[in-house]
Structure 1
């Protein structure tokens, strides 16, 4: 993992077409802007995890509990993994 220190207004460039800009710094939180091509998916980790967990719970709802662990493992095996870092 690359760790950088940036100030408000400074940018980070990823490849030729992704720009991350530090918009605001307040206490222990920052606001960032991400400028990327339309085809690049940008997602917050906590939102993606919550949706995944809700989908798993919904898929298991109403089914018998006798093989719930096996179904959960099968469902988790189908989840997308993070793309390799370039």
Structure 2
């Protein structure tokens, strides 16, 4: 993992099409601006974890339901 320090107004580039800029720093929060092509999906990390956990739970429930169906036959 690459860790960089940036100040307000500074940016980094990912490849030649994605720019990430620091737009505001207030206390312990940093606002970033992302300029990327429309075909690039941008998601917050906590959303990816929530979806992953939700999907894992759904698989467990589906597996349990399949187990119950097979036990009642």
TM-score range, shorter chain: 0.7 to 0.9
TM, length-normalised to structure 1? 0.65
1:42 aligns with 2:45: no
Q: Which has the higher contact order (CA 8 A, sep 6+)?
A: 2
Q: Which runs of 5+ in 1 are unaligned?
A: 67-86
Paired residues, number: 65
Q: Extract unaligned runs of 5+ from structure 2.
A: 68-73
Q: Bigger radius of gyration, 1 or 2? A: 2
Structure 1 or 2: more strand by fraction: 2
Runs of 4+ in 1 over 3 A off after TM superposition: none
Relative to the length of structure 2, the TM-score reads 0.74
More helix by share: 2
